[in-house]
Amino acid sequence: MDEFDLIKRYFEPLQTARSDVTIGIGDDAAVVAWDAADALVIAVDTLVEGVHFPADMAADLIGYRAVAVNLSDFAAMGAKPRYATLALTLPQVDGEWLEAFAEGLSEALVGADTALVGGDTTRGPLTVTVQLVGGIDGAPMTRAGARPDDMILVSGSLGDARAGLELLGADTRPSAGGGQELLRRFMRPEGRLELGRACRPHAHAAIDVSDGLLADIAHVMAASGCRGEIVREAVPLSAALLAAVGRDRAIQYALAGGDDYELVLCVPPTALDRVLGEAERVAVPLTSIGRVVVGEGVICRDAGGTDVTPRKTGYLHFD
């Protein structure tokens, strides 16, 4: 199978998710109908084997994840994706692997109403780059909009994915129940697209948690020129995480573990009820974990007010 057969067989079927693709896979570039009312939103993320996912991770999960991490970025802006491109570097052509990979990719794309419209296929160490193009109806949520007095809210629960990643590395099979849930949180991040779009008109600022909660909040504070104060005891932890690793490690993973793909929102107190209402409507838990104040950086305190900020607040590629 040469690369053109491969593209035709595995990737062409993924462009049918939308009817507004004028020229899709097969020509020199993709062309889509675009309505000028929406601002154009573009994001790209690369997953490298051995860096972003373990070498033996199942192909469908790699495909799913490559889209999901981009959907999470769109969620953090309050944007809606429409089209995707895929730059795929493969060590060899393995039909079974490609079949499963395309299936995972398709599941995530179709769930987000997004069509694959093009890409590039090359030989080399396994690397998956997905780019999303979409629109936003109104002003985006940015990292720069947080203001003193804003409440800091986070969706879902934190730390599960990091614990799941540890389980993947362990030789032992994860115990039934909780272990599977933690693995799922790492392997199949959901992205909070609906929540992001629902909160966009009300929130001052947002970011998705990919590096680690405190590190990502620090990005918002740096962009906004404010300081984030987080109450450690308020950070939401799942029962599965607490059962698997105990409270101390659960907190450590939640504050700095990364790969959560939850949303952090900075919301003025006057908009809190509306935002909580939207979260309820889209059935995503939202927890208040702190406040924006005058200053810079991020600080984490325990319930008694003592500074318990960990030295390492998230993942860095070039530490």
* Whether the Cβ atoms of residue 108 and residue 68 lie closer than 8 Å to each other: yes
**95 makes contact with ligand ADP (CB under 6 A):** no
Binding-site partner at residue 77 among ligand ADP, Mg ion, none, CB < 5 to 8 Å by type = none
Query: Least separation, in Å, of the C-beta of 34 and ligand ADP?
Result: 18
Cβ nearer to ligand ADP, comparing 98 with 271: 98
**101 makes contact with ligand ADP (CB under 6 A):** no
Query: Least separation, in Å, of the C-beta of 239 and ligand ADP?
Result: 40
Pair of tokens at residue 161: 């994915």
**121 makes contact with ligand ADP (CB under 6 A):** yes
- List binders of ligand ADP among 20-59 (CB under 6 A): 25-28
Q: What are phi and psi of 179, to 5 degrees?
A: -60, -40
Query: Least separation, in Å, of the C-beta of 24 and ligand ADP?
Result: 7
Query: Least separation, in Å, of the C-beta of 29 and Mg ion?
Result: 10
Going by C-alpha positions, the residue among 255, 264, 270, 260 that lies closest to residue 307 is: 255
d(CA 252, CA 260): 13
**109 makes contact with ligand ADP (CB under 6 A):** no
Cβ nearer to ligand ADP, comparing 112 with 205: 112
- List binders of Mg ion among 115-154 (CB under 5 A): 120
Pair of tokens at residue 317: 């590629």
**7 makes contact with ligand ADP (CB under 6 A):** yes
- List binders of Mg ion among 61-120 (CB under 5 A): 120
**116 makes contact with ligand ADP (CB under 6 A):** yes
Stretch that binds ligand ADP, among 19-27, 190-198, 202-210, 307-315 (CB under 6 A): 19-27
# of chain residues touching Mg ion (CB under 5 A)? 1
d(CA 121, CA 12): 13
**119 makes contact with ligand ADP (CB under 6 A):** yes
One-letter amino acid at 264 equals V
Query: Least separation, in Å, of the C-beta of 119 and ligand ADP?
Result: 3
Which positions touch Mg ion (CB under 5 A)?
A: 120
Which positions touch ligand ADP (CB under 6 A)?
A: 7, 11, 25-28, 86, 88, 116, 118-121
